[in-house]
Amino acid sequence: MSDFYCEQALNGLTPIEVVHETDRVLAFKHTRPSYPVHIVVVPRQHIPSLVNLGDGGEDLLLEVLRVVRLVAAQVAAEHGAASVVTNEGNYQESKHMHWHVINRGDLPEGLA
C-alpha cells in the first residue's frame, strides 16, 4: 500500500481515534502502535513527504507542525517525554507526509 492515510484512514475505511484535528490536519492514535503512546499527525490533503510538499506548500507544512508541536507538548506533559519522527525516501513506508509523536515508555536508567 503506497498511501495508507489517503486510502484507509482519511476516507474512513480504517477506524481511527482522533486526538486533535483542524480543517487541514488530523492527529490520531496509530492503528498498530509500536509504543505505549503512538500518535500520527497527517495533512488531510495528500502531501507526498516532508521533502516533496506537492501542492500543499509551506503554509500547510506549518499548520501540520503546529499540530505536531501541540500533540508533542500534550504527550510530554502527560508522560514526561515525547519523540517526534518523520521519514523520507525508502524509510517512508506510506507515501503521505506523516509525523509520529511517541512516548517510548519508561526511560532508561540515568535519564530524567
Question: How many Cβ atoms from other residues are within 10 Å of residue 58's Cβ?
Answer: 9
Banded model confidence at residue 1, pLDDT cuts 50, 70, 90: very low
Q: What is the average pLDDT across 70-86?
A: 96
Residue 102: the pLDDT is: 96
Residue 111: the pLDDT is: 52
CA-to-CA distance for 75 and 54, rounded, in angstroms? Answer: 30
Q: Where are the domains of the chain?
A: 4-103
Q: What is the average pLDDT across 25-52?
A: 93
β-partners of residue 102 are: 38, 83
Q: What is the pTM of this model?
A: 0.88
Which grid coordinates are listed for 25? 490536519
CA-to-CA distance for 72 and 22, rounded, in angstroms? Answer: 16
To the question of domain 4-103 being in CATH 3.40.190.10, the answer is no
What percent of the chain is predicted at pLDDT more than 70? 93
